[in-house]
Amino acid sequence: MHLVTPLATADAAARRWLLRTPATSYVVGLDAGDAPRCLHWGRALTAEQAAALVAPATAGASSFDSATAGDEELVTEAGARFETPSLQVAFPGGDRGIDWRFEGHDVEGGHLTLRFADRRHPFLVELHYRVYAGSDVIERWTVLRSALPVTVLRCDSAAWSVPILRDYRLSHVTGGWSAEHALRRTVPVVGETVLTGRRGVSGHHANPWLMLDGGDATETHGEVWSGALAWSGSWRITVTRGPAGRAGWTGGAGHEGLTFRLAPGAEWVTPTFAGLYSAHGYGGASRAWHHHVARHVLPEPDEPRPVVYNSWEAVGFEVNEANQLRLARLAAEVGAELFVVDDGWFGGRVGDRAGLGDWWPNRERFPGGLAPLIDEVHRLGMRFGLWVEPEMVNPDSDLYRAHPDWVHHTPGRPRTELRNQLVLDLARPEVADQVRKWLHELVGEHEIDFLKWDFNRALTEVGPDGRAWHDHVRAVYAILDQLRADHPGLRVEGCAGGGGRTDLGMMARTDQVWTSDNTDAHDRIAIQRGFSQVYPARVMAAWVTDSPNPLTGRVTPLSFRFHVAMAGALGLGGDLLAWSPEELAEAARLVAVYKDIRPVVQFGQQYRLDGGVQYSGGDRVVVLAWRGPVAFGGPRIPLRPAGLDPLGRYRDEDTGDLHHGAVLMASGLDLGLDGGDYASALVRLRKEG
């Protein structure tokens, strides 16, 4: 990807604007009624070429058709518009819909702002666009301002249009708890396909990103248009495929029914909804997303993610100072760099029925507080981390007994308990302030290097004002932002019962995310493949745990578990106290191997292969290959690396064998994975010459 200066340029006479990225262009223009329309999103255009674009006709074929072409930048309800609305507002008296009147624009480097007013009411809408040097991602968001009280029924961040294609294919993920990121590729219906999360988090069951192509894209070839929403609460993306052949989507925070009042003089700013065009297939789109997330989303992108040991699967709620000290010593011996104490260290937390909200060390389990354990972990050369669930409270807790009104609830109705807990109402400033204060004290007083921030149930009884769903998430963001500002050395892992808060909004405030509570290596292959469509390996926490697996009961070799987890930010979560000396020695060897390949895995370019994954960085290439259960007599398919220099020569760092790049990509590597079920291999190549 060659770098160009990102520009948002204006053609005042034609009333159109060109946004340029290194490999793509985006052109927005105004029609005769001042409605903003997408004129082009795709391959790079010059200013002269952009000026030559002709907008498609807007008149419908009949009086039952929409008068628009399905390419508006934010669809309203005014006039004969029958596409999915992006912006729905009700003015005093019941008047709905925005009749666009262009007010002006601002261009500052890569940031374009288009300003509009409604022709009847003192109501303002700003459409924002931003591009960055070296990134093909375009960020968009919307700002509302009103001089009179209005009811906002829906306010998406942006609507995105793709060219008219012969056919379309939609890519997204589905799943559930411990089954996140299951990749789906389907033909979108003519009509509306709604992807949504209604649980107050981005979700296990879906995730706020999508891709559209013409049905002919592959990992390596074809045009792909994609979008990802930077939001960690409820969300909705509606894909529309019109009868005339046009397709696109609109999306943003919230779900249906979450209306709220916008007071006179108030401002509403949506989260960012980013879009990306790639001419290089799904793999090219993914690598472009990975690059953007690393350079323009993550707070500390260039830090190697440490090898974590987390004690949860070893001891569960039976955590105490003695077993944590024993585990810490073993973790240090196998090469862990960060030791994390999970749930059960605080208050009356001896199970999941009590203690949430009482964030001080349990004196029966830690008689001297946390200091002796933290000191020993630091002496062993590791950093120290704690599991916390700041947004939650058990009814059986001192906090709840003192402040029963601090939770989301509907007066006069039962309070829904999920996992025996309730959710603190962080939309209330006094509640959010209390959470911020105890986190600040915990981190500052105990030399905490790392927090695993969890969220283990969905939101319910959030209240009559729909903005509380938004305000809760914004409070979480504000607390994390302040905590990191106050403690610059603190690192954070985002978690919500596994991958329930995997999104660009959370990644802007955390260093990695917990991918799934399912640590079964065989299941993780598919989970991690779906995760990698948009999110980079460096943020994908992946543990090696016990066999049989605690969740699935599946028995797999230790090397297989390691090779799968090495594809992300490696962690250990097994009961090291029960591992044999041989297993501990093998683990130490494999951790050392991971530390050698970590710069390539975490900072290189990822290529999804048939039967594995490849990372390329500098002159090194790392291939991780695996296979699950196989049928007798099935073909042994060589694994074909990708993205190599066809004229280059590559030396196997472990065997010394020399390979030609063109031969590897054409004939593949015969890895000899015939050692039974759950065989795996790691290949390290270095380019010579």
Does 454 participate in catalysis according to the annotation? yes
Beta-carbon count within 10 A of 92 CB: 10
Q: Is 582 helix (H, G, I), strand (E, B) or coil?
A: helix
* Cα(578)–Cα(325) distance, integer angstroms: 15
- Half-sphere exposure of residue 62, counting CA atoms within 13 Å on the CB side? 3
Give the residue among 77, 35, 76, 74 at the shortest CA–CA distance from 56: 35
Q: Which of 136, 213, 454, 546 is catalytic?
A: 454
- Half-sphere exposure of residue 183, counting CA atoms within 13 Å on the CB side? 17
Q: Look-up: residue for tokens 């089954």? A: 179
Q: Which of 449, 503, 511, 517 is catalytic?
A: 517
Positive or negative CA dihedral for 585, 587, 588, 589?
positive
Contact assessment for residue 340 and residue 385, using Cβ atoms and an 8 Å cutoff:
yes
Does 610 participate in catalysis according to the annotation? no
**What six digits make up the tokens of 68?**
């628009």
Residue ranges for the known binding site for substrate are 177, 342-343, 419, 452-456, 495, 517
| 569-to-14, 403, 411, 547 alpha-carbon distances in Å | 49, 39, 44, 20
Give the residue among 261, 267, 19, 249 at the shortest CA–CA distance from 150: 261
3-state helix, strand, coil in the chain (%, to 5): 20, 30, 45
Question: Pairing between strand 182-186 and 169-174?
Answer: antiparallel
Give the residue among 90, 583, 23 at the shortest CA–CA distance from 287: 23
For the CA atoms of 87, 88, 92, 94, what is the dihedral angle to 10 degrees?
150
Residue ranges for the known binding site are 177, 342-343, 419, 452-456, 495, 517
Give the residue among 391, 276, 341, 380 at the shortest CA–CA distance from 24: 276
Burial 585-603 (b: 16+ CB within 10 A, else e): ebbeebbebbeebbebbbb
Query: Using DSSP, how many helices (H) and how many strands (E) does the chain show?
Result: 13, 37
DSSP structural state of residue 84: P
Contact assessment for residue 422 and residue 377, using Cβ atoms and an 8 Å cutoff:
no
Catalytic residue numbers, as ranges? 454, 517
